[in-house]
Amino acid sequence: MEQDKQHWDKVYSEKQPTEVSWYEPMPEISLNLINECKLEKDAAIIDIGGGDSFLAEFLVSKGYTDVTVVDISEKAIERAKERMCEKADEVTWIVADAADFNPGKKFDLWHDRAAFHFLTEETQREKYLKTLIEAVKPGGYVLMSTFSENGPTKCSGLEVQRYSVGEMQELFQEEFNVLSGKSVDHTTPSGSTQNFTVCSFQKKK
Ligand SMILES: C[S@@+](CC[C@H](N)C(=O)[O-])C[C@H]1O[C@@H](n2cnc3c(N)ncnc32)[C@H](O)[C@@H]1O
């Protein structure tokens, strides 16, 4: 949605990377989960709402050759590209609304940390999940991190939809096998704690 795009472009124009609550110098939880999937280095990986996080950079540095980052904010993607310099050419960057886009190919792994929870309307969630189900290969993985039922009700001034582990698993269990689900605390740069639900799934074959 246009107003979401404007909101996020403003955030990424006005705030330094370490001034946003979701900042993490190393996406350790995501990297560990990705590691557990034991993917080939040429596996197709997509990071939804990747912003200017370090995930794509770490994946490229680990030798993954097919990494895509999608974000609604062009500014976020510009910032990530600038930071990565020539390494940015090894990533496919897509400016798009995750609730309204066509990924154009199939993926071995779909990662989303703190983007899905901004989809507060049922129609947005339905579209997102339809795209995800179509885009993940049979046997492919999905890693989802959202604010938990004990997490904040807002992020970056926007309302979020919170999920317990059970609620998240219910969304996926028809098409995916549940691999894991846990509650994880994230410490923000200002020192506060945000409780996340982190789940992993594997698409049924
Ligand atoms: C809280 S930040 C998380 C960024 C990153 N995943 C991380 O873990 O550091 C949320 C990100 O989702 C993006 N975003 C929000 N709504 C989106 C949407 N509908 N489609 C795509 N990206 C979206 C924002 O621009 C922002 O970069």
Q: Per-residue confidence at 2, pLDDT binned at 50, 70, 90?
A: confident
Q: How far apart are the first and last CA of the chain?
A: 34
CATH at 71: 3.40.50.150
Q: Which atom of ligand 1 is nearest to the CA of 145?
A: 8
CA-CA-CA-CA torsion for 187, 56, 88, 76, nearest 10 degrees? -50
Q: Is the CB of 175 under 6 A from ligand 1?
A: no
Residue with CA at minimum distance from ligand 1 atom 13: 49
Per residue in 169-201, pLDDT tens? 999 999 999 999 999 999 999 999 999 999 999
Q: What are the tens digits of pLDDT across the range 88-107?
A: 999 999 999 999 999 999 99
Domain limits for position 83:
2-14+40-203
The verdict on residue 139 lying in a domain is yes
pLDDT at 163: 98
- Binned at pLDDT 50, 70 and 90, residue 79 comes out as very high
Domain membership flag for residue 196 = yes
Does residue 59 line the site of ligand 1, with CB under 6 A? no
Distance from Cα 140 to the centre of ligand 1, integer Å: 22
Question: Is residue 160 within 6 Å of ligand 1 at its C-beta?
Answer: no
Helix axis angle, 74-84 to 2-14, nearest 10°: 40
DSSP code per residue over 10-28 = HHHHHS-GGGSTT--SS-H
- Domain membership flag for residue 125: yes
The strand order across the sheet containing 44-48 reads 91-95, 66-71, 44-48, 107-113, 136-147, 193-203, 176-187
27 belongs to a structural domain:
no
Give domain status of residue 25, yes or no. no
